[in-house]
Amino acid sequence: MEYTTQQNFETLGVSEALLAGLAKQNITHPTDIQQKMIPAICTGKDVVGRSETGSGKTLAYLLPIFLRIDQNVRGTQAIILTPTHELAAQVQKQAELLAKNAGVPISSALIIGTAGIQRQMEKLKEKPQIVVGSAGRMLDLIKRRKIQAHLVKTIVLDEGDRLLEDGNFAVVQAVIKTTLRDRQLVLLSASVSGETLQRAKQIMKDDMMQLEAQAQRGLVPENIAHHYILTTHREKFLMLRKVLAGEKPTKAMIFLNNPENIEVTVDKLNYHGIKADGIYGQAGKEERKSALEDFRNGKISVLVASDIGARGLDIADVTHIIHLDIPEDATQYLHRAGRCGRNGKSGCSISLVTPYERKWIHKYEKVWGIRFTQKDMVQGKLVDSAKTKKDLEKKPQKQTNTTKKSKKTSEKRNKK
Ligand code: AMP
């Protein structure tokens, strides 16, 4: 993780209790986005922040939320919305951990669609100050008056670009409308398109602040290497097996475009003796949780996912991202690749592409200013294609009849 040294948590106004709590997680220096977001959110103004994945954006909003919460008041003071349940669970875990480590009486609840509403209502009786979850369930519980929206000071839209997309925008707006006009809106995302910004402006106040972290270095962390291997549709799975066998990744995430193909891919991998599981959209909450747990604690080294399931997930030590399908959307590529190389560790993102799909690689290079290296699997090793070509050229080639013939004609031509 990159730090700049001008600011530290004390100068940003982080309390001693929170400092001590962070130290227990070995967090001692604020990241770039934290240096920018913490003071901005503390002003109470609306904020749009752009920051690369894995750059510490969760704490960039949780810390100022903790600072702004009135610990003597029970009831919802902050709502955090996320596009996926996994991300919500991760954020809520971080909030819980921070409160516990810092010894502050700030509690949080996870409010997501697939989980039992009865248990969530029980939890809400304890009047947690922070609720994290999906907009639909949140709205439901606000309408049932289980969440008191009038106390809300801050609403965070994490992975906000997704939350403002057509399918989600209406319900997100409905949640926002249940709160008072002077509450603060914070939107965070690795990518903020013109459309996202336009929608954000529709729901934010005129004096909203716009922040960018590390834009000058590009949005894709530099410690991730980007490779692609040319193959055919038919050979993709075989190539995947070759890459896994050759690279022996400690933790690899395999991405597919269509969630419906996750199950069959997992089955095929297991059939070939590769311990893998998947995060399926349709699977029960428990199954998803156990697949994630097994992957986190190293019981399995391969996790198959689609973009929907994996967005925003923070899993430590993912070494490889393999795109069995390549996303057409450059932003999606950024989100996927950002699952590896977290906390400054090195990571490797490998795209398996057909000659037709290679154009997307060029697109990502342009959009994100990154360089891809073409690779091949040769004798179980991932090697530069440029090198394999050179090696082939070096090998003395047998002269075929046609080459002999063309040599003769060119000699004739030269004589003329
Ligand atoms: P996020 O971008 O919020 O998903 O965070 C990525 C990872 O960075 C998480 O594991 C955090 O615990 C960790 N992290 C967040 N802030 C810092 C920091 N200031 N120093 C070191 N690690 C951090």
Task: Give the 3-state DSSP-derived string for 296-359, with helices as H, strands as E and coil as C.
Answer: HCCCCCEEEEEHHHHCCCCCCCCCEEEECCCCCCHHHHHHHHCCCCHHHCCEEEEEEECCCCHH
Residue 316 Cα, ligand 1 centroid: separation in angstroms? 10
pLDDT for residue 69: 97
Closest CA to 220 of 374, 55, 84, 47: 55
pLDDT for residue 369: 75
Tokens of 85: 């349940």
pLDDT for residue 410: 45
Which protein residue's CA is at the shortest distance from atom 15 of ligand 1?
A: 56
Residue 232 Cα, ligand 1 centroid: separation in angstroms? 38
Which protein residue's CA is at the shortest distance from atom 16 of ligand 1?
A: 56
Tokens of 73: 């008041």
What is the rounded CA–CA span in Å between residue 157 and residue 378?
Answer: 45
Residue 30 Cα, ligand 1 centroid: separation in angstroms? 9
Residue 55 Cα, ligand 1 centroid: separation in angstroms? 6
The pTM of this model reads: 0.63
- Strand order, beta sheet including 302-306: 276-278, 302-306, 252-256, 320-323, 347-353, 224-230, 372-378, 381-384
Which protein residue's CA is at the shortest distance from atom 8 of ligand 1?
A: 56
Residue 56 Cα, ligand 1 centroid: separation in angstroms? 4
Which protein residue's CA is at the shortest distance from atom 12 of ligand 1?
A: 56
Which protein residue's CA is at the shortest distance from atom 5 of ligand 1?
A: 56
Which protein residue's CA is at the shortest distance from atom 10 of ligand 1?
A: 314
pLDDT tens, residue by residue, 68-127: 999 999 999 999 999 999 899 999 999 999 999 999 999 999 999 877 899 999 999 999
Residue 54 Cα, ligand 1 centroid: separation in angstroms? 6
Which protein residue's CA is at the shortest distance from atom 14 of ligand 1?
A: 56
Which protein residue's CA is at the shortest distance from atom 4 of ligand 1?
A: 54
Residue 60 Cα, ligand 1 centroid: separation in angstroms? 9
pLDDT for residue 217: 43
Give me the residues of the chain with pLDDT under 70, please. Answer: 1-6, 53-54, 214-220, 281-285, 311-312, 388-416
Nearest atom, ligand 1, residue 26 CA: 21
Residue 92 Cα, ligand 1 centroid: separation in angstroms? 14
**Burial of 281: CB neighbours in 10 Å, binned 0-12, 13-18, 19+:** middle
Contact (CB, 8 A) for 188 and 56: no
pLDDT for residue 344: 74
**β-bridge partners, 373:** 227
Nearest atom, ligand 1, residue 343 CA: 8
Nearest atom, ligand 1, residue 55 CA: 2
pLDDT for residue 407: 46
pLDDT for residue 191: 82
Nearest atom, ligand 1, residue 316 CA: 10
pLDDT for residue 383: 93
- Report residue 134 CA to chain centroid gap: 17
Residue 313 Cα, ligand 1 centroid: separation in angstroms? 12
In this structure, the residues whose C-beta lies within 6 A of any atom of ligand 1 are 1, 25, 27, 29-31, 34, 54-59, 314, 342-343
